[in-house]
A and B are shown apart, each in its own frame.
Chain A
Amino acid sequence: MNDLPLKNDIAARFLPLIVGLMVYLGTLCLVFTLFITQTTRSWEMQFTSHLTVEIPTSPTLASGPLQAQVLTLLKQTPGIRQASAVPPKDLEKLLASLLETKTPIDATMLPILIDISLEEKKNLDTPALTKKLQSISPHIQLIDDREWQHQVSGLIDMIVLLASLLTVLILGTTLVTTTFATRTSLLIHRQIIEVLHLIGATNTYIGQQFQKHALRQGLIASTIGSGVACFTFGSVVFLLKKAGFSAAFDTVFFSEALCIFALAPFITSVAMMIAARLTVMRALAS
């Protein structure tokens, strides 16, 4: 039971609506950040652990012996776990999927691609390897996708940072709104607070009245906001899966996303409770 009629407070009438909306936006923003982070992480793993060697094919080049020489060099190079030529049939399939029309492919004209798997904890000296490869044949190329991958992941990091900032901003807005609503409530109920003081109530006791109310209000509003966000997330996942993007969502991502939806109401309401308490204590002390 509350000694202050905070339930019927005009000042805080829209607070649950604002909190619900903020939690909705905040949780979705966090889940989006999580999705981007996870996707980038798995994508980075692929690029950082693989390199490709391209041996061009031409009538003047004896690519068969070159391939054998390159494979021998690669197997002797420290930092390389495995090196194997991509089977011509796989190359044809890959190329066919990229070409819109059913153009016949001359397999003999395709370059030889050697897929290199790198050892996880060892650094490969790529400039030295390039030199060695080019000493075999100047036409051989070492394709290292890690350079542009660094640039793309930098851009993704920026997006993640912005999304995180947006989440913090949303939480900040919720807390500022709570603070304003609490301040207005303090003004509205100043006569009751005066009576409470005169009958011996401490500032802590009065602060507890406000913090309990903020906690209750925050918990209800943010649970609804988080619930609706969870529903939105489920709908988006369903639509994406229908469109063929199922590979992007693994169980780890799902469990982390559900954790965000479950924890958001508690974190928000506790933060609101602390904001209300600090506002009251500061106002009453002055």
Chain B
Amino acid sequence: MSELIAQLVGVGLHYKDGPEVFRGATFDIEKGSFQFLTGPSGAGKSSLLKILYLGLKPTWGTIHLFGENPSRMHPSNLPLIRQKVGVVFQEFKLLDHLTVIDNVSLPLRVQGVDRKTSHQHAQEMLEWVGLGNYLNVYPTTLSGGQKQRVAIARAVITRPQLLLADEPTGNVDDEMAMKLLRLFEELNGAGTAVVIATHNPRLLTQYPRPHLEIKDGTLTKSASPQ
């Protein structure tokens, strides 16, 4: 039996003054798995990812991450869980006052790695995503695709056990989208479980993988398309 990274049972979300987003979401994320999370815009893909990276508490259901129930954990221990999860945010969330290399090395620094070592790793990561010449520039000077790659480098620098990417190909052309997916696949090959949220159906046909679909507030699982 594969090792479980995340386990969601009957998870639902209802914003306080808004409509119900989804309900009864039950699925597992296994170690080394690769899956897409699909659904139309506004279906709740980002919200579900937010629950997975502990940015949001579910209204119903239980969630286990790395065998722990975060709702029963002391808040001071949550960072330990978050350090095992890499996130590529839809809006990148890069820190504009820091250079690209400082942005990428940030997750290592918060884990106590010294500046020199974290910069060495960050440089390797930026070379891996093809931005080796952009170490000391500020994010505001980069294009959408470049920011996306910086965000990916930052998400994977700690070699997370789970990588959550929210519309990582939303701001780039098809060629760049395939390049980014190859980066994710490389990472997945190294043992990281990858969940990519996308509303782009073409991505699924070009890159067939199992996927979870949220539609009308319900989550359904589909096997890899043949």
**What are 24 pairs between A and B in contact, CB < 8 Å?**
A1-B102, A1-B115, A3-B95, A3-B102, A192-B95, A196-B106, A197-B79, A197-B82, A198-B53, A198-B54, A198-B55, A198-B87, A198-B89, A199-B82, A199-B83, A199-B106, A200-B82, A200-B107, A200-B110, A201-B79, A201-B110, A202-B110, A203-B76, A285-B75
Q: Which residues of A contact B (CB under 8 A)?
A: 1, 3, 5, 8, 192, 195-203, 205, 285
| A198 engages B110 (CB within 8 Å) | no
Min distance, Cβ B18 to any Cβ of chain A, angstroms:
20
Min distance, Cβ A209 to any Cβ of chain B, angstroms:
10
| A205 engages B110 (CB within 8 Å) | yes
Distance, CA A197 to CA B79, complexed state (A)? 7
The answer, yes or no, to whether B147 is at the interface (CB within 8 Å) is: no
Q: From B77, which residue of chain A is reached at the shortest CB distance?
A: A202
Residues of B within 8 A of A199 (CB): 82-83, 87, 106-107, 110, 154
The answer, yes or no, to whether B221 is at the interface (CB within 8 Å) is: no
Distance, CA A192 to CA B95, complexed state (A)? 7
Min distance, Cβ B121 to any Cβ of chain A, angstroms:
14
| A200 engages B93 (CB within 8 Å) | no
Residues of B within 8 A of A205 (CB): 110
Instruction: Report whether over half of chain A's contact residues are helix, strand or loop; otherwise say mixed.
Output: helix
Q: Which residues of B contact A (CB under 8 A)?
A: 53-55, 75-76, 79-80, 82-83, 87, 89, 93, 95, 97-98, 102, 106-107, 109-111, 115, 154, 158
Q: From A5, which residue of chain B is reached at the shortest CB distance?
A: B97
| A200 engages B95 (CB within 8 Å) | no
Distance, CA A199 to CA B111, complexed state (A)? 10
| A3 engages B98 (CB within 8 Å) | yes
Q: From B81, which residue of chain A is reached at the shortest CB distance?
A: A200
Min distance, Cβ B87 to any Cβ of chain A, angstroms:
6
| A195 engages B82 (CB within 8 Å) | no
| A200 engages B83 (CB within 8 Å) | yes
Distance, CA A199 to CA B109, complexed state (A)? 10
Min distance, Cβ A1 to any Cβ of chain B, angstroms:
7
Distance, CA A1 to CA B105, complexed state (A)? 12
Residues of A within 8 A of B87 (CB): 198-199
- Between B79, B107, B115, B154, the greatest number of chain A beta carbons within 10 A of the residue's beta carbon is seen for B79
Residues of A within 8 A of B110 (CB): 196, 199-202, 205
Other CB < 8 Å A-B pairs besides A1-B115, A197-B79, A285-B75, 14 of them? A3-B106, A192-B95, A195-B95, A198-B87, A198-B89, A199-B154, A200-B80, A200-B83, A200-B110, A200-B111, A200-B158, A201-B110, A202-B110, A205-B110
Distance, CA A246 to CA B93, complexed state (A)? 66
